[in-house]
Chains A and B, each alone.
Chain A
Amino acid sequence: MLSRVAENLYWMTRYMERAENTARLINATSQVLLDLPPEASFGWDVLIKVVGLDALFSRCYTTPDENSVMRFLITDERNSGSIVSCVRSARENSRTLREVLPRAAWERINGMYLYTNNRAADAVDRARRYTILEEIIERRQSVVGLLTDGMSHDAAYQFIRLGRYIERADMITRILDINAAVLVPRQQVPEDPSMALLWMSVLNSLHAYQMYRRHASVHVRGAEVVNFMLKDTHFPRTVRYCLDELESSVSQLPHHGGPLKLLRIAQRRLAAMRIEGLTAAQRHEYLDAVQSDLAHLHEEIATEYFKFCEQKPAPLEALAGA
């Protein structure tokens, strides 16, 4: 397959994955904020920290109130990671992929784009937000289903998986990192009922609450949540699972020695990690290391498979870290 096409597949999927993750993050947070007492210190600005766009946000808005944060994350075209921007970029990428993807995939991506373009602005309003974002998530899920079941699991498909799981693992570590920083210091007060609520929200934003309850614990406690989201082998939205998927994908590509070596480093780091008893600084340092493993893996994949490309699309991390 063409290097240009491989790169477009990879980015198309990263943009789609990011749009879905952002929608989930917003919906989970919107729900939990309704339950918190007014004096709780958790606020909308946490979302901006999760996506790592503090600097860009403060250039565009004065205060991180609900309306500004929602506009920034959902519709703002200045933010290349907003849902509207991501869906548009995914669609622009997929436009050049129509001969690779099953025909219905383009129709669904295009349909998702048209829906997002028409309705996303309404999702800034709390009353309509949930339904609209759920619809966007559903539409993205329908694309995933179609690609999983409707196209050959050939090299093209492996680039779709690579984009999906690198982006997902990156988002999981960001969510855990920021939330742990905000939440864990407050665990000194064990009877604080909002703690469990906030960790539930973390699980919800990763679409993991139900599976956590079923497979890890009925109690929602910080260290256990972090442990589950990093290390569970069966749930598709944990870092461990993402790394395993990446390994399986990379192994099916030609000349995969370099990327595979980097993956093994990340996997070993994860296996050696003990969550209980870590200080906040240690945990942050660790999650940071996993993120940089992922960044290296991305660069290695780009060098190995996309290097023929002369024009690169704008890289997501660069913008996210701006």
Chain B
Amino acid sequence: MLTLNLTTNYSSAHCFDELIDANGIPRPAARTLFECLARFPLAELDARRAEVDAAIMTMGITFTIYSEGSNIDRAMPFDIVPRVMGQREWRRVDAGLRQRLMALNLFINDLYNEQKIVKDGVFPIDVLAGSKNFRAQCKGHTPHFGVWAHICGTDLVRDKDGTIYVLEDNLRVPSGVSYMLENRMLMKRLFPELFEQCRILPVDDYTTRLYESLAALSPRRDERPMIAVLTPGIYNSAYFEHSYLAQQMGAMLVEGSDLVVGADDCVYMKTIDGLRRVDVIYRRIDDDFLDPDVFRPDSALGVRGLMRAWRRGKVGIANAPGAGVADDKVVYTYVPKIIRYYLGEDAILPNVPSYLCMNSKEREYVLANLDKLVVKPANESGGYGMLIGPRSTQAERDAMHSRISADPRNYMAQPTLTLSTAPTLIDGKLAPRHLDLRPFVLQSERMYVTNGGLTRVAMREGSLVVNSSQGGGSKDTWIVEEQR
């Protein structure tokens, strides 16, 4: 049997495998997929894989790696075996994500206004004081709908017992959604047969929903809003995505130098026909660079006066400046309490148990167990500055020891999770590779959660690092209606 060929000798020891159970049998949600794949000889699978690679090259789906000098393109590896999840399980995740983002937005708005959660003693003032991403310049402002984080990419992981945890909330400028959309397109182009057999929920409405979410932020509600995606430019690692989203939404792709804030506090872009007003900016640059008048004065990427325009309600900005205050790995540990405080509910999706280095007991534990834990700086993203204890050298642990002692507020640690795996086509065979999942959640006038999200895969055997900036690849993610 060809089915056996595909999964024979496949074993993902000590891990939860997303598609194959401990007895080597496809899980219910993945059954149809394997029935279909079984009809492909391996040579055919390999041939299609080669076709995918060629399509990726031509389509120019690339992710820039900062360290690669003048070569600004690098194709992100794509694996043709999708990651499949049943709709029943997904519904719970979907509800958990909505709950989480709703609470986080209430939290951010509270922090910049009354700070009730601090006064009520639920969220310590020290943590707030030590937050690099709390922007005093945003105090006293309430954006439309009280929402600050309009676009959120939440990283989920599954541990060996099958529990799905939230690993982190990305509330600043999360990227990856274009890869989710492109991956689906590639799969449809190359495996149309699978889509006839498996009942896969669509993801293609994301850009429409994003457009609607942004349009709702326009200060001029009676006109078709002018929406601009603000990019740092072609050398940014996510430039492909910026241009992709602008293209899909019919929005303008602008750089800071294309914009100017007028004496009337409105934002204008420089066009062949003179200046034209911009209503909403989907910014893909960090707070620090947004406005040299308010944040880093040396920023050449931003727009002078942008914060003034925003505070006066002349332009919508997503995500709002300062939203990153909740995207802090120390704040993260308070999210279950935040959900309880604002919504009166228990968190549907659990956090990974975490140790805060600012608390002396927990710090002592962390410092004594650096070889077992994953240590993360509070405000970095993309996997930079992280220590994975079990895979670290003594020198790396010593360096981390002194960094934590010098600045305990800036570090937290978690047990090393055994990330789940999924079969991945490596050298013509299916082999288990670790992965995570980044669904995207939108909140503006309405809420929206993608069906699935971006599955990132650590392509190296045994590796737990899935970040695309660290050489990870990706898979199409299927939420399927289960067979009866």
- Whether a CB of chain A sits under 8 angstroms from the CB of B47 is no
Q: Are B258 and A96 in contact (CB under 8 A)?
A: no
CA A206 – CA B165 in complex, angstroms?
A: 65
Query: CB of B255 within 8 A of chain A?
Result: yes
A98 and B59: CB pair below 8 A?
no
Scoring A residues 93 to 137 as 1 if CB is less than 8 Å from chain B, else 0, what string do you get? 001101110010011001100100000000000000000000000
Q: Name the segment of A1-9, A233-241, A262-270, A273-281 touching the other chain.
A: A1-9
Which one of A1, A3, A107 contacts B59 once the chains associate, using CB atoms below 8 Å?
Answer: A107
In the assembled complex, the CB of A140 is this many whole angstroms from the nearest CB of chain B, namely 16
Across the interface, A107 reaches (CB within 8 A) one of B58, B229, B234, B255, namely B58
> Does A308 sit at the interface, judged by CB under 8 A?
yes
Q: Is A155 an interface residue (CB 8 A)?
A: yes
CA distance A305 to B272 in the complex (A): 5
Chain B 260-284 interface mask (CB, 8 Å, partner A; 1/0):
0000000001111100000000000
Cβ of A2 and Cβ of B257 under 8 Å apart? no
Contact of B270 among A3, A92, A111, A254 (CB under 8 A): A3
- Contact check, B271 vs A3: say whether CB atoms are below 8 A apart: yes
B217-265, CB < 8 A from A: 229, 234, 239, 243-244, 246-247, 251-255, 257-258
Do B270 and A308 have beta carbons less than 8 Å apart? yes
User: Is A35 positioned at the interface, with any CB of B under 8 Å from its CB?
Assistant: no
Contacts of A6 in B (CB 8 A): 272
A69 → chain B closest CB, angstroms: 28
Residues of chain B with a CB closer than 8 A to A155's CB: 272
Contact between A99 and B246, CB atoms less than 8 A apart: yes
The CA of A168 and the CA of B85, in the complex, are separated in Å by: 56
Q: Which of B58, B258, B269 touches A111 (beta carbons < 8 Å)?
A: B58
Contacts of A60 in B (CB 8 A): none
When distances are taken between beta carbons in the complex, the residues of chain A under 8 Å from B244 are: 98-99
Does B124 sit within 8 A of A, measured CB to CB?
no
Pick the residue among B60, B229, B234, B255 that contacts A110 (CB under 8 A). Answer: B60
Residues of B within 8 A of A255 (CB): 273
Q: Mark B279-296, 1 if CB is under 8 A from A, else 0.
A: 000000000000000000
Task: Answer whether residue B57 sits at the interface, using C-beta atoms and an 8 A cutoff.
Answer: yes
Asked if A253 is at the interface of the complex by the 8 Å CB criterion, the answer is yes
Within 8 Å CB of A254, what residues of B?
272-273
| A28 to B356 Cα, complex, angstroms | 73
Give the number of residue pairs across the A-B interface with Cβ within 8 Å: 62
With A110-B59, A114-B57, A310-B257 as known contacts, state yes or no: A1 contacts B271, CB within 8 Å.
yes
Chain A residue at minimum C-beta to C-beta distance from B243: A98
- Contact (A4, B255) CB under 8 Å given A106-B60, A107-B60: yes
Residues of A within 8 A of B271 (CB): 1-3
Inside 8 A of B273's CB, which chain A residues have their CB? 1, 254-255
A interface residue count range (under 10 / 10 to 19 / 20 to 34 / 35 or more): 20 to 34
The contact string, 1 if C-beta is below 8 Å from chain A, for chain B 46-74, is 00000000000111100000000000000
**CA gap between A155 and B58 in the complex, in Å:** 27
Please give the distance in Å from B196's CB to the nearest CB on chain A. Answer: 25
Contact of B272 among A1, A95, A100, A110 (CB under 8 A): A1
Collect the chain A residues with CB atoms within 8 Å of residue B58's CB.
Answer: 107, 110-111, 114
Question: Contact between B247 and A98 (Cβ–Cβ < 8 Å)?
Answer: yes
Give the nearest-CB partner of A98 in chain B: B243
A contact patch SS? helix
Chain B residue nearest to A92 in the complex (CB): B234
Minimum CB–CB distance from B45 to chain A (whole Å) comes to 24
Bound together, the chains give a CA A310 to CA B59 distance in angstroms of 30
In the complex, what distance in Å separates the CA atom of A106 from the CA atom of B257?
Answer: 24
A173 CA to B126 CA, complexed, in Å? 74
Q: Which residues of A contact B234 (CB under 8 A)?
A: 92, 95-96
- Residue among B58, B243, B269 with the most chain A CB within 10 A? B58
User: In the assembly, what is the distance between CA of A92 and CA of B271, in Å?
Assistant: 21
Tell me the nearest residue of chain B to A306, going by C-beta. Answer: B272
The distance in angstroms between the C-alpha atoms of A4 and B233, with both chains bound, is 12
Question: Is B272 within 8 A of A99, CB to CB?
Answer: no
Query: Cα distance A106–B239 when bound, in Å?
Result: 14
What are the residues of chain B within 8 A of A92 when measuring CB–CB?
A: 234
| Residue pair A99, B253 in contact (C-beta under 8 Å) | yes
Interface residues of A in 260-310 (CB under 8 A from B): 305, 308, 310
Least CB distance, B282 to chain A, in whole angstroms: 12
Contact A2 B258, CB 8 Å, known A96-B234, A254-B272: yes
Inside 8 A of B60's CB, which chain A residues have their CB?
A: 95, 106-107, 110
A1: B residues at CB distance < 8 A: 271-273
Contact B247 A2 (CB under 8 A): no
Chain A stretch 156-198: residues in CB contact (< 8 A) with chain B = none
Closest to B228 in A: A2
A143 to chain B: closest CB distance in Å?
Answer: 13
B247 touches A99 (CB 8 A): yes
Most B-side CB within 10 Å, residue of A1, A98, A103, A106: A98
Cβ distance A122 to chain B, nearest Cβ, rounded Å: 19
* Contacting residues, chain B, for A308 (C-beta < 8 A): 258, 270
Q: How far is the CA of A179 from the CA of B272 in the complex (A)?
A: 39
Docked pose: A96 CA to B252 CA in angstroms: 11
Contact between B247 and A3, CB atoms less than 8 A apart: no
In angstroms, Cα B271 to Cα A100, docked, is 14
B77: min CB distance to chain A, Å: 18
Task: State A98–B60 Cα separation when bound (angstroms).
Answer: 11
Whether B270 contacts A96 by the Cβ 8 Å rule is no
Interface centre among B244, B251, B254, B272 (most CB of A within 10 A): B272
Tell me, rounded to whole Å, the shortest Cβ–Cβ distance linking B23 to chain A.
44
Within residues 178 to 235 of chain B, which ones have a CB less than 8 A from any CB in chain A? 229, 234
Q: How far is the CA of A2 from the CA of B239 in the complex (A)?
A: 18
List of A residues within 8 angstroms of B59 by Cβ? 106-107, 110
A52, chain B: closest CB distance, angstroms: 29
Chain B nearest CB from A304 CB (Å) reads 8
Chain B residues near A4: list those with CB within 8 A. 255, 257-258, 270
Taking the closest CB of chain A, its distance from the CB of B337, in whole angstroms, is 42
Q: Which chain A residues numbered 1 to 52 have a C-beta less than 8 Å away from chain B? A: 1-4, 6
Distance of A6 Cα from B272 Cα, bound (Å): 7
Complex-state Cα separation, A29 to B271, whole angstroms: 43
Q: Are B243 and A99 in contact (CB under 8 A)?
A: yes
User: Whole-angstrom distance between the alpha carbons of A1 and B252 in the complex?
Assistant: 8
Q: Shortest CB–CB separation between residue A322 and chain B, in angstroms?
A: 24
Query: Which of chain B's residues 427-452 have a Cβ closer than 8 Å to chain A?
Result: none
Q: Which of A103, A110, A253, A305 contacts B247 (CB 8 A)?
A: A103
Q: Please, which residues of chain B bring their CB within 8 A of the CB of A96?
A: 234, 243, 253
Shortest 3 CB-CB contacts between residues of A and residues of B: A99-B247, A308-B270, A99-B246
6 A-B pairs with CB atoms under 8 Å apart are A2-B258, A99-B243, A99-B244, A254-B272, A308-B270, A310-B257
Residues of A whose CB lies within 8 Å of any CB of B are 1-4, 6, 92, 95-96, 98-100, 103, 106-107, 110-111, 114, 155, 253-255, 305, 308, 310
With A95-B60, A107-B60 given, name 4 new contacts (CB 8 A): A98-B244, A98-B253, A107-B59, A110-B57
